[in-house]
């Protein structure tokens, strides 16, 4: 017996990327947008609105260097998420942004860069 597609949607959960609510970009440039979130609280507020409208986006993927700080450590960010009806999903490391990673992170030919990547990942 085939599952009812509409019934399957009742169980659908989509994890939103926090960086999708801010001015973000690629290695080719940054894309500025009116009304972009300017801090972590704004990102979770925006994600909360999406979840209220869709009822299927309770998780927000965060980026270790962009969403956590000394002022907003992971526990505080989790509180912010909860205050907007969501929670932290995946926690992503930053192993691509710095020029030192142009030859890779864990597979970089430079042992110091491999160690830096490992240390950063363990910090996440």
64 and 87 assigned to the same domain: yes
**Listed range (11-15, 24-28, 43-47, 97-101) with the worst mean pLDDT:** 24-28
> Can you tell me the distance from the alpha carbon of 56 to that of 6, in angstroms, rounded to the nearest whole number?
13
pTM equals: 0.81
Which pLDDT belongs to residue 17?
96
Task: Please count the structural domains in the chain.
Answer: 2
Q: b/e string for 70-102 if b means 16 or more Cβ within 10 A? A: eeeeeeebeebbeebebebbeebebbeeeeebe
Residue 44 binned pLDDT confidence (cut-offs 50, 70, 90): very high
12 and 67 assigned to the same domain: yes
78 and 33 assigned to the same domain: yes
Percent of the chain with pLDDT over 70: 98
75 and 110 assigned to the same domain: no
106 and 68 assigned to the same domain: no
> Can you tell me the distance from the alpha carbon of 26 to that of 100, in angstroms, rounded to the nearest whole number?
17
54 and 72 assigned to the same domain: yes
The residue-averaged pLDDT of 42-61 equals 97
32 and 82 assigned to the same domain: yes
Which pLDDT belongs to residue 97?
81
Residue 30 binned pLDDT confidence (cut-offs 50, 70, 90): confident
**Residue 43 sits in which domain range?**
5-92
9 and 48 assigned to the same domain: yes
């Amino acid at each position: 017996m085939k599952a009812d597609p509409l019934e399957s949607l009742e169980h659908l959960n989509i994890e939103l990327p926090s960086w999708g609510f801010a001015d973000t970009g690629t290695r080719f440039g940054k894309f500025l947008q009116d009304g972009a979130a300017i801090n972590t609280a704004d990102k979770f507020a925006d994600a909360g609105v999406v979840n209220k409208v869709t009822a299927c986006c309770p998780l927000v993927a965060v980026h270790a260097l962009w969403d956590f700080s000394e002022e907003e450590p992971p526990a505080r960010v989790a509180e912010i998420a909860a205050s907007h009806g969501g929670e932290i999903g995946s926690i992503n490391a930053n192993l691509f942004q710095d020029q030192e990673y142009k030859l890779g992170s864990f597979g970089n030919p430079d042992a110091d860069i491999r160690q830096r990547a490992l240390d950063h990942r363990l910090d996440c």
